Amino acid sequence: MRLHIPPQISRLLLLTAVIVTLYLTARYFLTPQSFGMYGWYRAVALDEIAARPTTYAGQKACDECHSEVVQRLAKYEHKTVACESCHGTGQAHAENPDVSVSKLTYSHCVRCHEADPARPKWLKQVKSKEHYTGQRCTECHVPHQPNEVP
């Protein structure tokens, strides 16, 4: 017995086949090549995100030219403070030494050392309104060697 397919059904079948083929072709061409490499996403996105520029150069870059200062700093209380914590972004300065890093002011000191009950007890804190007002911090304290008196 031969299977007889009515023409309207065979036309529908043909149309379905064409649509499915078109979809599969489009999917084949449009799916990014790196899709599915690590998961349900474009793996190239990792490279794109990793290609963004940096603004902080990192302590190693500072150490390349200013190793003397970095080594001296490591012996004192401020050893955990990175150069860029106080001196600001350094990538531009690392690429071109003519670009200077930001100037430091009094606010850099009180940013950490202003007395606050939320601050841990081990941190040395002062009430800036009562602590030698009218004098600059650096008159008595050396930021790179906080234990020493100038």
Partner 1 sequence: MKKLLELVLKMGGTGYQPVFGGNLPPKIATSQRPVPSKGHFQSLPLGRRSVLRALTGALAGALTLSLSRKAKAAVQKMLVSSHTPKGYDPTKHKWLMAIDVDRCIGCGLCVEACKTENAVPVGPNYFRTWIERYVITRPEPGSGEMRGETLVDSPNGGMHGFPPSLVPKEQILKSFYVPKLCNLCEHSPCSQVCPVGATFDTPDGAVLVDPKYCIGCGFCIQACPYGCRFMNPVTKTAEKCSLCYHRITRGLKPACVEVCPTEARVFGDLKNPVANDPIHRFIEKNKAAQSLKPHLGTAPRVLYAELDKEVR
Interacting residues toward partner 1 by CB under 8 A: 28-30, 32-33, 38-42, 44-56, 58-60, 78, 80-82, 84-85, 89, 111-112, 114, 116-120, 123
Nearer to partner 1, 112 or 142 (CB): 112
Number of other residues whose CB lies within 10 A of the CB of residue 105:
11
Q: What is the closest distance, in whole angstroms, from the C-beta atom of residue 98 to partner 1 in the complex? A: 21
Nearer to partner 1, 50 or 149 (CB): 50
| C-alpha distances in Å from residue 126, one per residue of 14, 57, 77, 141, 148 | 83, 31, 16, 13, 17
Q: What is the closest distance, in whole angstroms, from the C-beta atom of residue 11 to partner 1 in the complex? A: 28
Q: What is the closest distance, in whole angstroms, from the C-beta atom of residue 117 to partner 1 in the complex? A: 5
Backbone angles phi, psi at 78, to 5 degrees: -85, 25
The separation between CA 102 and the C-alpha centre of its own chain, rounded to angstroms, equals 19
114: tokens are 């202003």
The separation between CA 26 and the C-alpha centre of its own chain, rounded to angstroms, equals 38
Nearer to partner 1, 1 or 49 (CB): 49
Q: What is the closest distance, in whole angstroms, from the C-beta atom of residue 14 to partner 1 in the complex? A: 22
